[in-house]
Amino acid sequence: MRAIAAFQRRVLLAVILALLAGAVVAAEGGVPLPVIPKGKGEQCVEPTPVIRRDHMVFLLHQRDETMHQGVRSKRHSLKECIECHVAVDREGRTIPVNAPGQFCAECHSYAGVGIDCFQCHAATPDSGSRPPASAVHASSELHGGAPHAGFGGALMGPRLASAGEGSK
């Protein structure tokens, strides 16, 4: 009987130590954080913790003011966010902000949150250019043959603007 109680205490102690060791590893950076590319400006329009937490609130408010009241401003516009956070590749072509490893995709992937903005909005600044066909093809391969919503948005943005529906 005493042998069983001693064994149970040892098992309980081992479990507690394993849990504590796991907590220490997590607290010491065992969970990798996303690497977020820096924007072009000196600082964001809001403090970093605020924009990380509330950017969707700002974007939705901006959308409502623009769509329902006709008010267009740059402070919280998706277009201005993209202008600041878009990167370029070695050939000087813009990389969509929702491409893997890029500004929007990096955090959204880490948080497990989808990005549906680019189903309609351009994921690169409105330069009138479209991503190379190879980028769309590569995206289709990565997603089991289905085109990635972000590349669809990048293709759709300039087309909508040229169709007279206005810039998004």
Report d(CA 95, CA 129) in Å as an integer.
12
The predicted pLDDT at position 9 comes to 84
> Taking the alpha carbons of 42, 99, 104, 65 in that order, is the dihedral positive or negative?
positive
Residue 14 resides in a domain = no
| Pairing status of strand 87-88 against strand 94-95 | antiparallel
Residue 25 resides in a domain = no
Q: Which residue has the tokens 């939705």?
A: 60
Residue 42 resides in a domain = no
pTM over 0.75: no
Confidence grade of residue 15 (pLDDT, cut at 50, 70, 90): confident
Q: Which domain holds residue 129?
A: 48-162
Distances (CA, A) of 73 to 63, 81, 83, 125, 151: 10, 12, 14, 16, 26
Residue 129 resides in a domain = yes
Confidence grade of residue 24 (pLDDT, cut at 50, 70, 90): low
Residue 4 resides in a domain = no
The predicted pLDDT at position 11 comes to 76
Residue 167 resides in a domain = no
Residue 35 resides in a domain = no
The predicted pLDDT at position 166 comes to 40
Q: How many structural domains are present in the chain?
A: 1
HSE (side-chain half, CA atoms, 13 Å) at 81: 23
Residue 152 resides in a domain = yes
Confidence grade of residue 22 (pLDDT, cut at 50, 70, 90): low
- pLDDT greater than 50 at residue 134: no
